[in-house]
């Protein structure tokens, strides 16, 4: 059956209706770098007291609640990473969501730990979870992403182990968690679909004190440039 999604109104701010965090199921993956997207959504749910419950129909943990006055659903697929789109596509189709109403939180090897960036549309950089999402959203790539930096091991052959089997040290976990605690300005603008406001606040280092923990002093391009050669190929190893 062909999936149909509601078209996006170009040029008009579109509030988010669904935030999904990517990861792999099972305790053996719970503290790995590939699960930082799922971790971020779980922390968001706890902060705003949105209960996540298993829904076998959608192959996900899912909950509905209010964040800064915005009614939306949070979800974490219970499938493996490369089938993440099954759950997200099913929810999008059932609730007739446009891709602009969807945000995907995921790990990003092109960014250092402690760097978080927003992105609208574009390629997947070989990330199999994002590839699955795009395929299940009628091959549309206009969904929004929260890219959570996890760094790169420095060698393409080590990427799979680095992301899915290695538990990062506690200081790295603390750095990543702190970077994901978005300020009210960033989170509010993001939920409202005011992406220029959200990106400016998140991506600019010299912000108010409550925003400084969101980014490292290095710029997005500097962080990406440092490992770009390895990153572009590393995410294509089936992870």
In angstroms, the CA 120 to CA 104 distance is: 10
Question: Which residues 6+ apart lie within 8 Å of 5 measured at CB?
Answer: 92, 93, 96, 97, 98, 99, 137, 138, 140
pLDDT score of 210:
40
In angstroms, the CA 121 to CA 143 distance is: 5
pLDDT digit string, tens, across residues 146-164: 999 999 999 888 999 999 9
Q: Is 34 part of the annotated catalytic residue set?
A: yes
In angstroms, the CA 71 to CA 15 distance is: 9
pLDDT score of 57:
93
pLDDT score of 216:
35
pLDDT digit string, tens, across residues 47-81: 999 999 999 999 999 999 999 999 999 999 999 99
What is the residue extent of each domain of the chain? 18-234
Catalytic, out of 34, 106, 127, 152: 34
| Annotation: CATH topology of 18-234 | Rossmann fold (3.40.50)
């Amino acid at each position: 059956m062909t999936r149909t999604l509601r078209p996006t109104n170009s040029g008009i701010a579109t509030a988010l209706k669904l935030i999904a965090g990517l990861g792999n199921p099972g305790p053996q993956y719970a503290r790995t770098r590939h699960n930082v997207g799922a971790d971020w959504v779980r922390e968001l749910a706890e902060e705003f007291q949105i209960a996540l419950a298993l829904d076998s129909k959608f192959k996900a943990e899912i909950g509905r609640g209010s964040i800064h006055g915005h009614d939306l659903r949070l979800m974490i697929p219970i499938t493996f990473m490369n089938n993440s789109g099954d759950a997200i596509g099913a929810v999008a189709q059932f609730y007739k969501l446009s891709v602009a109403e969807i945000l995907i939180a995921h790990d990003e090897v092109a960014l250092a730990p402690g760097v978080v960036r927003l992105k609208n549309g574009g390629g997947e950089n070989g990330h199999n979870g994002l590839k699955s999402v795009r395929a299940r959203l009628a091959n549309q790539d206009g969904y929004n992403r929260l890219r959570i930096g996890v760094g790169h091991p420095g060698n393409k052959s080590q990427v799979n182990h680095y992301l899915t089997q290695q538990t990062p040290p506690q200081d790295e976990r603390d750095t990543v968690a702190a970077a994901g605690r978005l300020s009210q300005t960033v989170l509010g603008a993001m939920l409202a679909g005011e992406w220029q406001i959200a990106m400016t606040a998140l991506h600019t280092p010299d912000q108010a004190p409550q925003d400084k923990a969101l980014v490292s002093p290095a710029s997005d391009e500097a962080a990406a440039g440092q490992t770009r050669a390895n990153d572009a190929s590393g995410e294509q190893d089936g992870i």
